[in-house]
Structure 1
């Protein structure tokens, strides 16, 4: 039987005298109605939290307008306005859904009577729409491994929340996971004030990160749809939805773009966290005969910043022993230690390319080091070097390995390991493997607490042992200074 709106009696009419009813088609001034506590329970029992999803763009489901949007707390649909002749007003009459919330002001109204209600039972909904964190909250967020439960009782780990994949965007999901686990950047996004005045990318990324670290979510997953769309638009299609792109290129683009949007006095929390410095020496290779006298060629030395250390893998052998059914297929894949790859930046190793000899010396280590394992060669990431990179997950002496003056005792722990997965096809001429892409080829290992690891592959989140990390094809690593 349809539910009827409550008709106030003579006593209740006294309470309604204090309500200001809005009969206009617009509500640009949300303070035009006074909240009441006399009718706080009216229709609140019709709210269906299982139908609510605030991860998507604030857009009217009828007019597609993006201004003055209200969400129906019964069915979850978005409508424009709340006055007469508005889509929300007609929805309240036609569908008898009466409770609406303004997605900007978080004021709750009952339509079509158009009065505001205030009730503490609505606070959880408001907190889902706009999660807020104090400095004290952020300081304690890493002290314990937070466990939350959605409305269905399904447990999830706070901070390790699955992200819904929008078409071919696993490469975007892993970068969002990466940024959400670099503490200074994460803390900045959690406590950022005046979000409405921030650039769209900063605002939308901040909302995704805030919802990832929320302990009282209605659902155990998040849709980063708005953030993904903003990346596509802002990059002018460089990073799209129709095919997987290079997550490392996206990470560098995101770091530089965020720096430009939030910097103050030529610096920002982004560069202060991940940017280091190195000295680059370059000299030409002399082509001389055996009898000629060779004079030392003076090197050109320059200092330059870096956001990541690119690690060159050794070439894949052209011929390998064929594996049998009883052998592990990975037994034939070459292996290399992380320390060996880092020798490129120790100040003594030289690299020769195109008639030039390069020598790299790291002079300043950042708080977080990003390492990029160069697996892909050409043909749009179809040729991949499958070499296994061996590494410990904690106390890696980057200062000693790189011979950084004054920082030889500095160690780092791994916090994020982005990996690539793909079926191995036939070998290319140079020994690289032609990779057959899977539908979602990128996933991330992320660390929570001291040594608890999770494998996050789009919506799938599962705990793993630290010993399992190096078994996958590492592509991007983020190391945190101890």
Structure 2
């Protein structure tokens, strides 16, 4: 600006002021003069500031920082947290939290986030991380931290707070109140998944990833045992137990009973991984195993882990006591002559010895299956009453057990009965070459089975109930041997008062009369809280069978 132009502006300025002097009071004239001088100085400073901004190469980064600071509240939260514009991009149909929480790029389980648009898992949320890069490349902005259950908007990197996202949090980590858990057996209401299918919480299908049907039936069975299920439904019981098997068991039980699930089935992938690791690969996803082996290992392992933290739910639910009387048999006279020895049969080692042991399963021995066809050249399918198998525990019947050098006769007598009684019907026998299966059908009522005849009179307590109702039934179909047959479960849902047949993802309701027609392998019986007036006893069951006829039923195999 030239000096001549500046002088001209200075000469013109008083003329403008003089023109207003006649109309304004003296005090206001002074304020106007100060205001005009301030405006002139600011007009001179603005170009200089703009020049400084133009010279700064980080204008975009500083502007973003200023906007973020202005949006941040005094209490540390972000104004954008409660008005995220990307919530409508969330696709709940793509969300699946049943699989292991690993980044899909690095396969790491540290600081993993799930994209709520495509359902994929990525690590981190800061600049340069895989979640951050995914948000820029794909335009997916809303993520959830799979460990803290907090929602974030990327790449802006602010926390999203909205009650509309609570259903996603509940699907990822369901939490139930103690009142709801206590009333769960009274609830028979169906829920509806996102695809419109109806399902009954607690009776949902489990995905068979490869050959894990033997795991699925065990989970379905244990889920019907109320003390076991309620213990794992309450997150306060397992929150401080840093064990993967315990944590995944609780997560699976809570998801199976979720009334707000997005889909009507659950994948036990994380639980299967925990079983494989904890059992040192005794049980695998890719190879079918025996469910009784898994059930025995699982209950004993969980009992050992939980007892370290003062929890005895497994022992209190499944364990009972029995008296076992053992008597070692002396060698026969021929064997003594061959060995040139003489043994006194009244020696101390050949006297009966009675011991008290704890049990979690009752092993029931089936009678040998017929070897020949009947007169119609059809395979005979024999039948036997459940009470005949239970006579093993009457304290009178002796059973022979042989080892490579000794023969022991044993008698069994039940001393106490647990709240939930597990029966193992021994259908499979192994020899050197192959596995054989006994197809004998076991007849049993599903309610009011009285087992008081197998308890000694001195062990009975007045007022106690010795009657049991069937709760779950595991069935084996097909040929014996790993991978040659399949397993399915019959379970009773108290809330709906219905029986269901579950085989992996297939769930159908059924009549209780159809249960006895199957080849039962494992049964779980629930002890009735109070005795009923007309229980079904062993003698009554046998008389009914005598009236019905002695000949076994025949059918084409």
The reply to whether TM is greater than 0.5 is yes
Q: Distance in 2 between matches of 1:283 and 1:442?
A: 38
Match of 1:319 among 360, 372, 376: 372
Question: Could you say if the C-alpha distance between residues 267 and 124 of structure 1 is closer, same or farther in structure 2, counting changes exceeding 3 Å?
Answer: closer
Q: Deviations over 1:311-367 (max 9, x none)?
A: 00000111131667xx8x7xx211111111111011111112222110111111111
What is the deviation of 1:105? 1.3
Bigger drift between 226-235 and 407-416 goes to 407-416
Give the 5 Å matches for 1:66-215.
66-193=109-236, 195=239, 197-215=241-259
Q: Deviations over 1:48-82 (max 9, x none)?
A: 00000000011001111101011000000001111
* Larger gyration radius, structure 1 or structure 2: 2
* Root mean square deviation, CA, Å: 2.7
Aligned length: 443
Match of 1:306 among 347, 356, 359: 359
Bigger drift between 251-260 and 34-43 goes to 34-43
- Taking structure 2 as the reference length, the TM-score comes to 0.75
Q: Distance in 1 between matches of 2:209 and 2:294?
A: 16
Classify the secondary structure of the residue corresponding to 2:396.
strand
Question: Could you say if the C-alpha distance between residues 16 and 321 of structure 1 is closer, same or farther in structure 2, counting changes exceeding 3 Å?
Answer: farther
What is the deviation of 1:458? 0.5
Match of 2:101 among 47, 58, 62: 58
Aligned to 2:315: 271
Higher helix share: 2
Classify the secondary structure of the residue corresponding to 2:295.
helix
What is the deviation of 1:454? 0.6
Question: Could you say if the C-alpha distance between residues 184 and 93 of structure 1 is closer, same or farther in structure 2, counting changes exceeding 3 Å?
Answer: same
Classify the secondary structure of the residue corresponding to 2:185.
coil
Give the 5 Å matches for 1:419-434.
419-423=475-479
Residues 1:353 and 2:378 aligned together? no
Match of 2:438 among 341, 362, 385: 385
Aligned to 1:367: 419
Q: Distance in 2 between matches of 1:142 and 1:319?
A: 48
Classify the secondary structure of the residue corresponding to 2:418.
coil
Aligned to 2:272: 228
What is the deviation of 1:409? 4.5
Residues 1:406 and 2:456 aligned together? no
Question: Could you say if the C-alpha distance between residues 69 and 409 of structure 1 is closer, same or farther in structure 2, counting changes exceeding 3 Å?
Answer: closer
What is the deviation of 1:382? 3.3
Classify the secondary structure of the residue corresponding to 1:353.
strand
Aligned to 1:469: 515
- Taking structure 1 as the reference length, the TM-score comes to 0.86
Classify the secondary structure of the residue corresponding to 1:359.
strand
Listed as ranges, the gaps of 5+ residues in structure 2 are 1-62, 334-342, 529-557
Q: Distance in 2 between matches of 1:474 and 1:217?
A: 32
Classify the secondary structure of the residue corresponding to 1:210.
helix
Q: Distance in 1 between matches of 2:376 and 2:142?
A: 65
Bigger drift between 193-202 and 56-65 goes to 193-202
Q: Deviations over 1:365-402 (max 9, x none)?
A: 11110000000001598310110011111111122345
Residues 1:454 and 2:500 aligned together? yes
Classify the secondary structure of the residue corresponding to 2:449.
coil
Question: Could you say if the C-alpha distance between residues 345 and 447 of structure 1 is closer, same or farther in structure 2, counting changes exceeding 3 Å?
Answer: same
Q: Distance in 1 between matches of 2:294 and 2:481?
A: 21
Classify the secondary structure of the residue corresponding to 2:430.
coil
What is the deviation of 1:241? 2.3
Aligned to 1:335: 383
Higher strand share: 1
Aligned to 1:426: none
Q: Distance in 1 between matches of 2:490 and 2:393?
A: 26
Q: Deviations over 1:151-202 (max 9, x none)?
A: 0110011101100012111111111112211111111110032536431000
Question: Could you say if the C-alpha distance between residues 155 and 400 of structure 1 is closer, same or farther in structure 2, counting changes exceeding 3 Å?
Answer: same
Q: Does the 8 Å CA contact 2:206/2:505 hold for their aligned counterparts?
A: yes
Aligned to 2:471: 415
Classify the secondary structure of the residue corresponding to 1:341.
helix
What is the deviation of 1:19? 2.9
What is the deviation of 1:39? 4.6
Aligned to 2:263: 219
What is the deviation of 1:15? 8.7
What is the deviation of 1:260? 1.0
Q: Distance in 1 between matches of 2:310 and 2:478?
A: 41
Q: Does the 8 Å CA contact 2:92/2:262 hold for their aligned counterparts?
A: yes
Q: Distance in 1 between matches of 2:491 and 2:243?
A: 28
Give the 5 Å matches for 1:242-261.
242-261=286-305
Q: Does the 8 Å CA contact 1:36/1:116 hold for their aligned counterparts?
A: no
